[in-house]
Amino acid sequence: MSEKTVLAEQPRMFEDTPLTIAEFCERYRISKDIYYRLRAKGETPRETRLSPRRAVILMASLREWERRKLEEGRQHKSECPPDKRTTAAARAAPPEE
């Protein structure tokens, strides 16, 4: 068993332990490819560089990103037009007398 496998199997000891990019992707069930595409658009949590080749996502950054995403979802929901099926059904209904 490789060292990488052993590290991946260890439980997270502390809630505030930073996530690696791989752990972030696993937690949110996205591929690394999708992560890097989102990062290019500025849509991922802020990364903290530990070295030129190692980045982690701090819990504070993750919580801020989650809060932002929830707010974006709420705004999108409030800006969406009514359901098309409901509108079409209302138009198809006979006029009230």
Task: Kindly report the three-state secondary structure assignment for every residue of 1-24.
Answer: CCHHHHHHHCCCCCCCCCEEHHHH
Q: What does the alpha-carbon distance between residue 32 and residue 88 come to, in Å, rounded to a whole number?
A: 41
What's residue 50's pLDDT? Answer: 94
Per the prediction, the chain carries an average pLDDT of 81
Q: What is the pTM (predicted TM-score) of this model?
A: 0.65
Write the pLDDT tens digit of every residue in 79-94.
Answer: 776 665 555 555 555 5
